[in-house]
Amino acid sequence: MAADQSGVFSGEGFAPDDHTQDAPSDPANNRPNGVSRREFVGAAAVAGATLISAAGAFGQSRSDLEAGRSDDYASDPGPENDALLALNPDPNRPPFTDRGTLPPFWYGFALTPKRLQAGGWTHQVTERELPLSKDLAGVNMRLTAGSFRELHWHLADEWAIMLAGKARVSVMQPNGKMFIDDVEKGDLWYFPAGYPHSIQGLEGAGCEFLLVFDQGDFSEDDTFLLSEMLAHIPPEVIQKNMGWSRQEWDQLPAETLYIFPAELPGPIENDKRFLGSRLETENQYTFHGAMTMKPLAETAGGSARVIDSRNFPASRNIATGIVTLRPGALRELHWHPNGSEWQYWIQGKGRMTVTMTGARARTVDFNAGDVGLVPNMAGHYIENTGSEDVIFLEMFKTSRYQSISVNEWIARMPDKMAQVHLKLPLSPIRRVPASQYVVLPK
């Protein structure tokens, strides 16, 4: 990848020279390493002018809009869902810069029904729950120790991250070779559409993981299952195909297995030895240590990691950013030129404003287990509003991660171009950070 001194994203993804380098000092402006929150507030005011219409576009002056959020004007003496409002205060009392109507871009896994079976559970957030999510769908699944997600395949590519515990995964290629590996918290896997595969919880507490599919209307209840196929092939055909007698066919599962308990497997070396020359060793369908790998961008405010087809070749159609924000820190104002952003919040509490065409903007709060969706090319930021680190995933239906920084764009504008657009003196314009820092500190 191309490299510069910023330790941040470039047009084709991250491009640091020193992957753990903090934001550089700027002796000319007497700035310490990193970008202070005060500096960013000034920069955000500049950037906001490019994204929010003038006061007249609201139909009210800015002072009127701000006044509506003071005194008793925004009070609600009627019934309210206090528990929900505590988790999502911004939609109820939005920033005065919010305007117009945007489709919902938040949903929570906690709102979706779980399919509970002996051996574990699963639930999903897809286009049905979040209509803006046309490109990707998510499934959260848990398997107890030894339990299987039945051997299956589906129409969509499957990307996954382990959230807890350990699992054994297998996938067979069309050439008959099988890949098999053990994964644990922070590891990834990627299975192409149509490749049959399995997932089994290992010793201890089993496992929990997030699956992401490159098909917005994907349904975890509509996958091809080995048990269903064999139960609905005539027994005389099974005898011709597999050599199994009618009595043996009668022993096959008559109903879907889907998730079911089983004994723990033996050492993985035994399985690999059994496969012998049919063990796949060239293509790597797992990626270990995604959440602990060396960050490709890091400041005092947090860090960011990217996994896409450049460092995980199997992941041909899904690119991922793993972002950590320390309390008060900001994932800087930006957009993505090559796809909608599907988010999964692993930890913490934060808020996000999404800006769209027509001077529309909406601010929503997020918590662990929530899903966010940023429409293709929409401007947005993510801010940690809690007391612990925020960790969230940025997912895209593409082979390469790309991001465009509003700060970096303003910094590249020639003086007269910037002044005539922003209506500001040159001095505050040139206080805007000149590089894409990804994460800005408090």
Query: What are the backbone dihedrals phi and psi of residue 22, each rounded to the nearest 5 degrees, phi first?
Result: -75, 165
Tell me, yes or no, whether 337 lies in a domain.
yes
Nearest to 366 by CA among 109, 10, 5: 109
Residues 282 and 356 in one domain: no
Q: Classify residue 20: in a domain, yes or no.
A: yes
Residue appearing with tokens 């940023």: 374
In this prediction, residue 63 carries a pLDDT of 77
Of 287, 310, 336, at which residue does a domain stop? 287
What pLDDT is stored for residue 343 in this prediction?
98
Task: With respect to residue 77, please indicate whether it lies within any of the assigned structural domains.
Answer: no
Task: Note the pLDDT of residue 290.
Answer: 98
Q: Kindly report the three-state secondary structure assignment for every residue of 306-333.
A: EECCCCCCCCCCCEEEEEEECCCCEEEE
Q: 175-218 pLDDT, tens per residue? A: 999 999 999 999 999 999 999 999 999 999 999 999 999 999 99
If asked whether residues 311 and 408 sit together in one domain, one would say: yes
Pair 261, 368 in one domain: no
Q: What is the spatial distance between Cα 50 and Cα 219, in angstroms, rounded to a whole number?
A: 40
Reported as a single tens digit per residue, the pLDDT across 295-339 is 989 999 999 999 999 999 999 999 999 999 999 999 999 999 999
Do residues 314 and 248 share a domain? no
Domain that holds residue 256: 112-287
* C-beta separation of 181 from 162 below 8 A: no
Domain of residue 280, CATH code: 2.60.120.10
Say yes or no: 124 and 92 in one domain.
no
Rounded Cα–Cα distance for residues 56 and 65 (Å)? 11
Same domain, residue pair 127 and 224: yes
Residue where a domain terminates, one of 248, 264, 287: 287
Domain-embedded: residue 351: yes
Q: How confident is the model at residue 5 (pLDDT cuts 50, 70, 90)?
A: very low
Please report whether residue 313 resides in a domain.
yes
Q: What is the pLDDT of residue 12?
A: 53
- SS3 state at 299: strand
- The beta-strand segments (E) located in 317-432 are 319-325, 330-335, 341-347, 349-356, 360-367, 370-374, 379-384, 390-396, 404-405
Q: Are residues 244 and 381 in the same domain?
A: no
Give the model's confidence band at 369: pLDDT under 50 very low, under 70 low, under 90 confident, else very high.
very high
Domain assignment present for residue 56? The answer is: yes
375-422 pLDDT, tens digit each: 999 999 999 999 999 999 999 999 999 999 999 999 999 999 999 999
SS3 184: strand
Q: Is the pLDDT of residue 13 over 70?
A: no
Same domain, 319 and 209: no
Residues 117 and 266 in one domain: yes
pLDDT in tens, 23-60: 433 433 333 344 444 444 444 444 444 444 434 444 67
Section 102-125 average pLDDT: 97
Total number of domains constituting the chain: 2
pLDDT of residue 305: 98
- Euclidean distance between CA atoms 303 and 20, whole angstroms: 9
- Which residue among 261, 287, 313 closes a domain? 287
For residue 391, give the 3-state DSSP assignment. Answer: strand
Residue 79, in any domain of the structure: no
**Same domain membership, residue 372 and residue 277:** no
305 part of a folded domain = yes
Residues acting as catalytic residues:
394
Residues 362 and 217 in one domain: no
CB atoms within 10 A of CB 124: 23
Determine the pLDDT at residue 421: 98
Instruction: Give residues with Cβ within 8 angstroms of 372, minimum separation 6.
Output: 105, 106, 341, 342, 343, 345, 352, 364, 366, 392
Higher pLDDT, 260 or 79: 260
Asked if 219 and 325 sit in the same domain, the reply is no
Q: Convert the pLDDT of each residue in 214-273 to its tens digit.
A: 999 999 999 999 999 999 999 999 999 999 999 999 999 999 999 999 999 999 999 999
Residue 15 pLDDT greater than 90, yes or no: no
Query: CA 131 to CA 140: how far, in whole Å?
Result: 18
